[in-house]
A and B are shown apart, each in its own frame.
Chain A
Amino acid sequence: MTDMTAPAAPADAPRKGSLLEQDARTKRRNAAEKRFEVYGIIAVGIGVLALIALLTSILVNGLGAFQQTFLNVEVEFAEDRLDKNGNRDPADLAKVSTFGYKPLIEGALIATVDRLGLRPDGMSDGDIGAMVSNEAAAQLRNRVLADPDVIGTTHTVRILANARIDGYLKDRVDRASAELDGNVTPQQLELTDRLQAAGVLDKAFNWDFITAPDASENRPEASGLGVAILGSLYMMLVVLCLALPIGVAASIYLEEFAPKNRWTDLIEVNISNLAAVPSIVFGILGLAIFINFAGLPQSAPIVGGLVLTLMTLPTIIIATRASLKSVPPSIREAALGVGASKMQTVFHHVLPLAAPGILTGTIIGLAQALGETAPLLLIGMVAFVREYPDAPPEGFFDPASALPVQVYNWTQRADPAFVERASGAIIVLLIFLVAMNALAVFLRRRFERRW
């Protein structure tokens, strides 16, 4: 230790001040410290605010979709219009198109308006009739075809008002905008107010939004999510049936049996890469392999399910491996110690203990898959589908839509009423996601085991 010849510490050490008072430099440094913390608070605040803004925007825009404006009018199912032969032959009844029903409804509405003396000055019959949704005629026709006995009777029926009238009740349309809009007149809005006061027109919860199929471009008031929800459900079934067993099998191999060699290394790298491949690339894969090469039908839940399975596998594998890893080696040693084979050890002891973690990971993977949109666009799920798919397994091959794709579909349409529908669909989607995640959290809390 010859280094001690070095100059000793200067006697006049710079800080000999009291600990009880902060020197200027410390004050400056503490101010910087505070600033740094404030940056952190701002960052967290922005994140939380963004979440609130996002959810508020969706809720404000979308809650209206769950309510719909209906008109209650007395319609006479006139026999001379609907069944000229009077023989109730279904084939003849089917020949009367929706055009045959339209005047019936419009006439009924006009009659109601006049009976109650609500008609604003100078409003034409045509304008009154136009307040009814185009879909109403189809609904009435379906009712007659299902039950021909109503012909010749008079019933009070609940029919959809058109999207503009509905929009007026939801503050989307007002008199000023009506002046500029070719599809609605201020007189119609005036009449709407009067009809509402008279109880003919009302706004009520709309089950059809959840159960009905999509409707065409010019009748947003009739569109619903039925086919989309069914399609998403089918796809989730396919994903669950394929991704869970394959993912668990792959994880068991990689975690419990795989030797450390090039092949398993390659698999590991592949899995972590697949987790980060853009989802649209999986869409291209689905289009090229499942549709163009294997010849599976477009727009079918089976194809969507297969694509989403491939996307979900990495998530499930990563979660499963983590929960297999958390089972302590002592359990394995105990089982091997009583003479179980390695395979028996894994299937009898390790796997059951890891099951809650696997289940949680699978649910989270499914939730991810449920919200995935981009790959489904490429495999034709954007098609306009009004028919419900059949029951599985045939239904897997029928055309269907999917919840997130339905949202995209509606955003591409011109009528502003579809914005409300798209936001409403998102609310439905988010409810499913919240439910799934809550289930995952519940399972984790309920079965979590700390070793």
Chain B
Amino acid sequence: MPLLWLIAIVIALAAVGAVLGRRRALASADGDARRLHSLPSYYAANVGLTVLTPALGLLALWLLIQPLYVDWRVTELIPDAAIPETSTRGLVMSDVRRVAEGLDTAIQQGAMTEDEAARLQTESTDIRERLAAVGVALGSNVRPEVLTAAQRYRDLSGTGTTLMAVAVLLAAIGGLAVSVLMTHRDFRARNTVERGIMVMLIAAASIAILTTVGIVLSMLFETANFFGQHSWTDFFFGLNWSPNFRGNSDLGIIPLLWGTLYISFIALLVAVPIGLFSAIYLSEYATRRVRSVAKPMIEILAGIPTIVYGLFALITVGPFLRDYFAQPLGLGNSGSSVMTAGLVMGIMLIPFVSSLSDDIINAVPQAMRDGSLALGATHSETIRQVVLPAALPGIVGAILLAASRAIGETMIVVLGAGAAARLDLNPFEAMTTVTVKIVSQLTGDTDFASPETLVAFALGLTLFVITLCLNVLALWIVRRYREQYE
């Protein structure tokens, strides 16, 4: 792996530089470390960082930009006429890349020489067969434009990689030279190094923002693409969801949103009373012994991955509800249903609601409780009429956060709710949700040009916006509530 070698060389240079820097600094102070402005190790670190930062930064930038540049140059080689009607430029380009990679593999395995690969012609050689011999399977015969483009692709990539190595090494050596020359006993190495570290700390903190930007951008572009191919009125107001891979699909979000909200509603119906009452019981009534056993047990529920809940819904709760409720009541024969998913999701949310409520109830000052008890109120009157009203905003915030969890939950609904989009009131009927459809449209073989795939990004963006609004609102309420009692 040449890239690894390159990085190793840069790191080695940094290490050598560090030793040199330290030595030079000590030499400039006649070997007496006390006469240096900073500790010797800071001079070493300064040289090391000056070698690493520009070189590795350049490397990262190059790796990011080179494929884009090469793609752009190679795309020019493929005339519009060479793109088959059933295909797109993007698909042809991925063919090109696959052929190029195939040629690389062939050379690596010694089945072809570098020279031969560059001079291959579709007329004289059956490329597909030659590549199959080294284990690279191609979907179809290679067309001449694709081969030329692939050869050009390899050519450009090869040149690019060589240039990159040279540039990175130059940057590293340059950094080494400059920083070693700068090293002198009066040079403020500690300040420089600390500034460098600070920049890294800030960069790390900014990753949170980058992630959000990445989320929004990644979905925004594809969503825009989707709305270019499919009417937005149908998406937002359509009452039908029936994707059809031959085109002309109905892609209305309403039935999916209905399923999502219905399931979330049932989940909250389960989780909020149980979570709230257990929080009240554990923080106000339970003896220390009971609390020390029951509290961790409920918290364990929070640490269990959602796939486990999903499996529980699929193999236990679903069949149970079907056999003992849905069928005797004549409400349906489906194991996966709104009820199954809602119930299990409710169980998942119990610890979430209870630990948030616990925090919030404990934030109500003891003085308030004492005031009520001193008036002769019973414990429950105090809780119902003083503590809960005082904690109400916080609890509303907690419920909103739980709702946002429920709406975004995926595995429980994938395994417990079903796949049929339906607008129905019967809770024992299988319905589907936004997250289930994102999974089903984006897994398996996906073609990123069709609206049936792209709709997943629009669904994702809708989901993101809904949960973001809920979260921001909830966090705002909770924060205001906390400030009230601080």
Binding site for B on A (CB under 8 A): 29-30, 32-33, 36-37, 39-44, 46-48, 50-51, 53-54, 57-58, 61, 245-247, 249-250, 252-254, 257-258, 264, 266-267, 269-274, 276-285, 287-289, 292-295, 310, 313-314, 317, 341, 343, 367, 370-374, 377-378, 380, 382, 393-394, 404, 407-408, 411, 419, 422-423, 426, 429-430, 433, 437
Give A62 to B80 CA distance when docked, in angstroms.
56
Task: With A280-B463, A310-B211, A372-B305 given, name 9 new contacts (CB 8 A).
Answer: A43-B277, A47-B274, A58-B308, A257-B198, A272-B471, A273-B472, A281-B464, A284-B438, A437-B303
Nearest CB of chain A from residue B269's CB, rounded to whole Å: 13
* B32-67 to A contact mask, C-beta < 8 Å, 1/0: 000000000000000000000000000000001001
- CB closest residue in chain B, given A422: B311
Contact of A367 among B190, B303, B404 (CB under 8 A): B303
Give A283 to B335 CA distance when docked, in angstroms.
28
Given contacts A40-B285, A57-B312, A411-B311, contact A276 B405 (CB under 8 A): yes
Task: Tell me, yes or no, whether B326 is within 8 Å of chain A by CB.
Answer: no
Within 8 A of A (CB), among B386-418: 401, 404-405, 407-411, 414-415
B-side contacts of A36, CB under 8 Å:
379-380, 383-384
Contact indicator B201/A292 (Cβ below 8 Å): no
- CB closest residue in chain B, given A433: B303
A-B contact pairs, 13 of them (CB 8 A): A43-B273, A47-B351, A250-B201, A269-B475, A277-B468, A278-B409, A280-B460, A284-B442, A284-B460, A313-B208, A341-B190, A423-B315, A430-B308
Contact indicator B408/A258 (Cβ below 8 Å): no
Nearest CB of chain B from residue A425's CB, rounded to whole Å: 9
Give A408 to B408 CA distance when docked, in angstroms.
18
Give A425 to B463 CA distance when docked, in angstroms.
30
A-side contacts of B198, CB under 8 Å:
253, 257, 343
Give A426 to B316 CA distance when docked, in angstroms.
14
Given contacts A284-B460, A367-B303, contact A273 B214 (CB under 8 A): no
- CB closest residue in chain B, given A44: B278
Contact indicator B204/A44 (Cβ below 8 Å): no
* A interface, over-half SS: helix
Contact indicator A46/B442 (Cβ below 8 Å): no
Contact indicator A51/B410 (Cβ below 8 Å): no
B-side contacts of A43, CB under 8 Å:
273-278, 281
- CB closest residue in chain B, given A43: B277
Nearest CB of chain B from residue A288's CB, rounded to whole Å: 3
Give A276 to B439 CA distance when docked, in angstroms.
19
Contact indicator A393/B281 (Cβ below 8 Å): no
Contact indicator A278/B463 (Cβ below 8 Å): yes
A-side contacts of B404, CB under 8 Å:
276, 278
Give A376 to B292 CA distance when docked, in angstroms.
36
Give A140 to B208 CA distance when docked, in angstroms.
53
Contact indicator B380/A32 (Cβ below 8 Å): yes
Task: Tell me, yes or no, whether B457 is within 8 Å of chain A by CB.
Answer: yes
Contact indicator A284/B218 (Cβ below 8 Å): yes
Task: Tell me, yes or no, whether B1 is within 8 Å of chain A by CB.
Answer: yes
Contact indicator A44/B222 (Cβ below 8 Å): no
- CB closest residue in chain A, given B471: A276
B-side contacts of A429, CB under 8 Å:
305, 307-308
Task: Tell me, yes or no, whether B300 is within 8 Å of chain A by CB.
Answer: yes
Contact indicator B410/A371 (Cβ below 8 Å): no
* B interface, over-half SS: helix
Nearest CB of chain B from residue A74's CB, rounded to whole Å: 38
Contact indicator B408/A371 (Cβ below 8 Å): no
Give A221 to B30 CA distance when docked, in angstroms.
75
Task: Tell me, yes or no, whether B443 is within 8 Å of chain A by CB.
Answer: yes
Give A269 to B308 CA distance when docked, in angstroms.
31
Contact indicator A377/B351 (Cβ below 8 Å): no
Contact indicator A48/B294 (Cβ below 8 Å): yes
A-side contacts of B456, CB under 8 Å:
284
Nearest CB of chain B from residue A232's CB, rounded to whole Å: 12
* B194-208 to A contact mask, C-beta < 8 Å, 1/0: 100110111111111
B-side contacts of A393, CB under 8 Å:
1, 4
Contact of A37 among B306, B380, B464 (CB under 8 A): B380
Given contacts A276-B405, A278-B463, contact A285 B308 (CB under 8 A): no
Nearest CB of chain A from residue B391's CB, rounded to whole Å: 16
Which of A43, A411, A426 has the most chain B CB within a 10 Å cutoff? A43
- CB closest residue in chain A, given B475: A272
Task: Tell me, yes or no, whether B209 is within 8 Å of chain A by CB.
Answer: yes
Contact indicator B467/A278 (Cβ below 8 Å): yes
Nearest CB of chain B from residue A17's CB, rounded to whole Å: 14
Contact indicator B448/A292 (Cβ below 8 Å): yes
* B444-486 to A contact mask, C-beta < 8 Å, 1/0: 1000100000001100100110011001100100000000000
- CB closest residue in chain A, given B379: A33
Contact indicator B206/A267 (Cβ below 8 Å): yes
Contact indicator A423/B208 (Cβ below 8 Å): no
Give A259 to B204 CA distance when docked, in angstroms.
16
Given contacts A246-B204, A274-B211, A280-B435, contact A371 B307 (CB under 8 A): yes
Contact indicator B205/A253 (Cβ below 8 Å): yes
Task: Tell me, yes or no, whether B301 is within 8 Å of chain A by CB.
Answer: yes
B-side contacts of A283, CB under 8 Å:
438, 442
B-side contacts of A282, CB under 8 Å:
215
A-side contacts of B86, CB under 8 Å:
none
Task: Tell me, yes or no, whether B280 is within 8 Å of chain A by CB.
Answer: yes
Rank and list the top 8 A-B pairs by shortest CB-CB distance, nearest first: A278-B408, A371-B305, A40-B281, A288-B218, A43-B277, A249-B204, A36-B380, A374-B410
B-side contacts of A266, CB under 8 Å:
209
Contact indicator A279/B408 (Cβ below 8 Å): yes
Contact indicator B443/A377 (Cβ below 8 Å): yes
Task: Tell me, yes or no, whether B347 is within 8 Å of chain A by CB.
Answer: yes
Nearest CB of chain A from residue B396's CB, rounded to whole Å: 16
Give A29 to B384 CA distance when docked, in angstroms.
13
Give A371 to B310 CA distance when docked, in angstroms.
12
Give A43 to B301 CA distance when docked, in angstroms.
14
Contact of A426 among B284, B311, B460 (CB under 8 A): B311
Nearest CB of chain A from residue B193's CB, rounded to whole Å: 8
Contact indicator B464/A419 (Cβ below 8 Å): no
Contact of A295 among B67, B207, B448 (CB under 8 A): B67
